[in-house]
Amino acid sequence: MNQEQVKDFTRRISQSNRGGLVVVVYDIIFAYLTDAKECHSKGDYEGFRTALLQAGRGVEELTRSLNFQYAVSKNLYALYVYAKESLAKAVIRKSIEDAGEAEAVLAELYTAFQEAAKQDHSKPLMQNTQQVYAGFTYGRNHLNETFQEPDASRGFFA
């Protein structure tokens, strides 16, 4: 994952509510799976392994965030375990096909969580963050983002 993606994910996390945060975690997983595919095609198996382990950490985070008071969590847990096992097999076998199985399962869930996130109109989880406004100015090849602070007091309050 390159620095630009890290900055983008950091900004998205700081602006996300609960539903949006799940979608961001999925996007991070898919970014690492893309990195794994690129490394595999180049024959860089150490990079392939590292990217798959990072994707597995994302799946672990999704698993830890399940609320088992809801029945659907048991089904999601089983799917996450399957995805995690597929990623582990991919690392051991150095196989892109096993990683593809995990990606297919996660892609189906991703579309469902995207729809659910559109219906979540709650406030962002992080407070005292910078507001990001995109689209005021345009660069030659990209969209500029402007950070504006309503007040200068950010961070933790003691």
Return the residue matching tokens 């994302």.
58
Return the residue matching tokens 């983008």.
8
Supply the pTM of this predicted model.
Answer: 0.76
Q: Where are the alpha helices (DSSP H) in the chain?
A: 3-15, 18-42, 45-64, 72-93, 96-119
Return the residue matching tokens 């975690």.
25
Question: What average pLDDT score do residues 100-121 get?
Answer: 89
Residue-level pLDDT at 17: 77
Of the two residues 66 and 13, the one the predictor is more confident about is 66
- Is the per-residue pLDDT at 94 higher than 80? yes
pLDDT, tens digit, 9 for 90 and up, residues 15-51? 777 778 889 999 999 999 999 999 999 999 999 999 9
**CA angle (10 as vertex; 156, 52 as ends), nearest 5:** 125
- Is the per-residue pLDDT at 128 higher than 60? no
Return the residue matching tokens 């933790």.
156
Taking all residues of the chain, what is their mean pLDDT, rounded to a whole number?
Answer: 83
Of the two residues 22 and 121, the one the predictor is more confident about is 22
